[in-house]
Amino acid sequence: MVDAGKVKQIALSLPEATEEPHFDKTSYRVNKKIFATMVSEHSRATVKLSPADQDIFCTFDSSVIYPVPNKWGKQGWTHINLSTVKEEMLAEILKAAYCEVAPKHLAELITFE
């Protein structure tokens, strides 16, 4: 299980990432663009993935990571169950989401395991 503090730690470790409110959620942004949101009461984070990354990650286990079940999901928005995701996988998912919205010069700084 991953908690809200771990999501925050990983997200803010990415270059120029910031934490800002987004309605009733916490959002993580780069260059004013949201790459992840979190509602800790629901033990869930939501990230913006490319269609290819969404397909890859969601084939792992639909009880851990799955598309948002509406038009937002078709745009790459993907839920992560924080109760079941492993920290290493969460870090890779957050990095992929960050790279999806970050300027190219920042995305190029990210390394994947």
Is residue 83 in a domain? Answer: yes
H/E segment holding residue 77: strand 77-81
Is residue 32 in a domain? Answer: yes
User: What pLDDT score does 1 carry?
Assistant: 82
Is residue 112 in a domain? Answer: no
User: What pLDDT score does 41 carry?
Assistant: 85
Is residue 113 in a domain? Answer: no
Mean pLDDT calculated for residue range 94-110: 97
- Structural domain count of the chain: 1
CA–CA separation, 55 vs 76, rounded Å? 9
Q: pLDDT for 17-75, tens place per residue?
A: 999 999 999 999 999 999 999 987 889 999 999 999 999 999 988 899 999 999 999 99
- Phi and psi, residue 109, nearest 5°: -80, -15
CA–CA separation, 84 vs 67, rounded Å? 16
Nearest to 102 by CA among 24, 65, 50, 56: 50
Q: How many residues are listed for the chain in this entry? A: 113
At residue 3's C-alpha, the angle toward residues 42 and 36, to 5°, is 70
User: What pLDDT score does 52 carry?
Assistant: 95
Is residue 49 in a domain? Answer: yes
CA–CA separation, 24 vs 26, rounded Å? 7
User: What pLDDT score does 40 carry?
Assistant: 75
User: What pLDDT score does 39 carry?
Assistant: 86
User: What pLDDT score does 85 carry?
Assistant: 96
CATH of the domain at 18: 3.90.1150.30
Q: Which domain holds residue 24?
A: 4-107
User: What pLDDT score does 107 carry?
Assistant: 97
Q: How many Cα atoms occupy the beta-carbon half-sphere of 106 within 13 Å?
A: 17
In 23-76, where do the E strands start and end? 25-30, 33-39, 44-48, 65-67
